[in-house]
Amino acid sequence: MATEDKNRATAAAILPLVGGGANVASIAHCMTRLRLGLHDRSLVDDEALKALPAVMGVVEDDTYQIVLGPGTVARVTPEFEHLVAEAREAAPTPVPEPGAAAVSAEELAAQGAAIKAQRKARNATPFKLFLRKIADIFVPLIPALIGCGIIAGLGGLLVNLQWLPAVTPALAAMASGFMALIAVFVGHNTAKEFGGTPILGGAVAAIIVFPGVANIEAFGQTLSPGQGGVLGALGAAVLAVYVEKWCRRWVPEALDVLVTPTLTVLISGLVTIFGLMYVAGEVSSAIGTFADWLLSNGGAGAGFVLGGLFLPLVMLGLHQALIPIHTTLIEQQGYTVLLPILAMAGAGQVGAATAVYFRLPRNESIRRTIRSALPAGLLGVGEPLIYGVSLPLGRPFITACVGGAFGGGFVGLFNQLGDTVGSTAIGPSGWALFPLLDGNHGLGSTIAIYAGGLLVGYLAGFVATYFFGFGKDLLAEFNVSQEPALSTVAATGGTQPRPTTASGAPDTTDGPGPSPSKAPAAVE
């Protein structure tokens, strides 16, 4: 009950700061953020929201996003929805005074639309919008990937220990059932995101995993169930959307309910069977082969580059292109070898923040922020450290990337030596990734390598930041007993950019960050 009261209290604290229930047009949440559609953005008190203990930060995109962290957001959202509903029921209908000019709902909507369009235009490049759609397709699947991945790890541990032999087959079925049908879910979400009927997208994608395709020949070879995987499902569902829209334009309304779904499944299904499955299968195989080749032949260098560049990729919104790659690798090999390397970016962030703590012994404001944010950073929730400490300061963000590079190089080196380290799901990072680890040389070896990478990332991020993260001017300005606001750094070369990910690793959950010109500059 105490937990429920805490979540309700958090929701109750947030509601008036976003303009009350009447100002909330829509409510949703992803892995870490409460996403609100608002009628009037000017009614939001940003600073008061950021000051709430449960709020890690705010993001402005298509929706107003309040970062609460994994687990917390899923519990606060239902309470918030309940409070909004209560507020709307209790709100009296406004009666304009005689002779007063009443503001119409249409005018308020127009004002809100203008504000929304202005914000959206900042990142509305076609490529980033496409990547955002891709992310929105896969992000809803992450909870199932995490749950099934942990069950798979538990089942594997029991098999290795030869414990509970009667239970392990059941665990294997639980862990594998979702992955066997993931193409259907991808097809459903793809059609929804591209403006089609979700169930038709799922129906076409289901062809890919149907066992009966083993009786069909295409391009001189017999098809196999699952060939093409999530990439084939994505392509099939997009095709289904375009066929459906074409049918809506040309099929008479009286026949639409019969003809449109039939033609959509028939045309898209035939193209999927006799084209997309083969092409997507070749692409999927190429992705797996390239990932294995890259880490086998240039693991240390590749890990160094991937670990060092991941945070900038997140800022540019380009990390979303990795989501289907992760999913394809998990589908093919049972784990993605890229995620443990990319997770090292979070380790570099933790090391950098720790160095900032020691370099600013007189600035209790920043030190207090770091003390409260470090536990979350260790568990892979990086927002508080990223845009509460390193990004506003500027140069520590760069040294955090250095830490991520060395951690990634460490994990990549062992991949090159033959010790593969992978994750059975996407989403978590930091210490939270330990239950999802898998590899080719036993769980103990895999855990040791990943833990070693985290330690290297922590140490490299700390050393780089401690010795190179501060210019004399910045150190003199912030190493004082007062509590200056980090936002003042913007005037000296840093920026206060929008948050990036739920952790120093993938995420898959949100929209692209600021444009390259908005990236934080090193403060001299």
Looking at residue 189, its pLDDT comes to 95
CATH of the domain at 40: 3.30.1360.60
Between 117 and 322, the more confident residue is: 322
Q: Is the pLDDT of residue 269 over 80?
A: yes
**pTM listed for this prediction:** 0.72
Average of per-residue pLDDT across 287-301: 91
Q: Provide the pLDDT for residue 473.
A: 79
Please indicate, yes or no, whether residues 72 and 205 belong to a single structural domain of this protein. Answer: no
Average pLDDT over residues 39-61: 86
Give the span between the Cα atoms of 300 and 220, in whole angstroms: 40
Verify that 154 and 285 share a domain, yes or no: yes
At 137-181, the pLDDT tens digits run 998 898 898 898 889 888 888 887 889 989 999 999 998 999 999
Query: Which stretches does DSSP call E strand in 330-457?
Result: 421-423, 437-439
Dist CA 308 CA 303 (whole Å)? 8
Interior angle at CA 280, CA 333 and CA 264, nearest 5: 125
Does a structural domain hold residue 169?
Answer: yes
Give the model's pLDDT for residue 409: 96
Residues 320, 248: one domain?
A: no
Average pLDDT over residues 443-457: 95
pLDDT exceeds cutoff 80 at 121: no
Residue 98 has pLDDT above 50, yes or no: no
- For the ranges 40-54, 339-353, 494-508, the lowest mean pLDDT is seen at 494-508
Residue 131 lies in a domain: no
The single residue of 30, 148, 247, 401 carrying the catalytic annotation is 30
- pLDDT recorded at residue 87: 83
Average pLDDT over residues 33-40: 88
Is the residue at 193 inside a domain?
A: yes
Q: Which residue has the higher pLDDT, 498 or 204?
A: 204
Q: In the block, which residue shows the tokens 């090193």?
A: 522
Q: What is the CA radius of gyration of the chain?
A: 25
Give the residue-averaged pLDDT of 481-510.
44
Give mean pLDDT, residues 43-49: 89
Domain containing 271 equals: 136-295
Q: Band the pLDDT of 420: cuts 50, 70, 90.
A: very high
- Backbone φ/ψ region at 334: left (φ over 0), alpha (ψ -120 to 50), beta: left
Find out whether 131 and 317 touch, Cβ atoms under 8 Å.
yes
Q: Tell me what pLDDT residue 480 has.
A: 72
d(CA 460, CA 465): 8
Domain count, the chain: 3
Same domain, 399 and 285: no
> Within this chain, do residues 421 and 505 fall inside the same structural domain, yes or no?
yes
Same structural domain, 284 and 322: no
Q: Is residue 524 part of a domain?
A: no
Q: How far apart are CA 177 and CA 353, in angstroms?
A: 41
Q: What is the pLDDT of residue 481?
A: 63
Residue 408 domain-assigned (yes or no): yes
* pLDDT of the residue at 129: 76
> Residue 103 falls within a domain, yes or no?
no
CA dist 392 and 293 (Å) reads: 38
**Residue 276 has what DSSP assignment?**
I
Helices (H) and strands (E) in the chain, counts: 21, 8
148 is known as an active-site residue: no
Asked whether residue 476 is domain-assigned, the answer is yes
Angle between helices 323-333 and 182-193 (to 10 degrees): 160
Confidence band of 406 (pLDDT split at 50, 70, 90): very high
Spell 442-472 as b/e; 16+ CB within 10 A means b.
Answer: eeeebeebbebbbebbbbbbbbbbbeebbbe
149 and 53: one domain?
no
The pLDDT of residue 308 is 94
286, 432: one domain = no
Answer yes or no: are the C-beta atoms of 57 and 498 closer than 8 Å.
Answer: no
Q: Which of 276, 295, 314 is the last residue of a domain?
A: 295
Cα separation, 299 vs 416, in Å, equals 5
Is it the case that residue 221 has pLDDT exceeding 70?
A: yes
249 and 365 inside one domain: no
Q: Give the separation between CA 103 and CA 386, rounded to whole angstroms.
A: 41
Residue 114 has pLDDT above 60, yes or no: no
Average of per-residue pLDDT across 421-448: 90
Residue 123: per-residue pLDDT: 55
pLDDT over 60 at 102, yes or no = no
- Residue 142 CA to residue 366 CA, distance in Å, equals 33
Same-domain pairing of 142 and 6: no
Given 295, 330, 364, which residue is the final one in a domain? 295
Average pLDDT over residues 498-521: 39
Domain-ending residue, one of 265, 295, 325: 295
247 and 342 fall within a common domain = no
State whether 250 and 360 are in the same domain.
Answer: no
| 523 is a domain residue | no
State both tokens at 179: 């992955």
Give the per-residue pLDDT at 159: 85
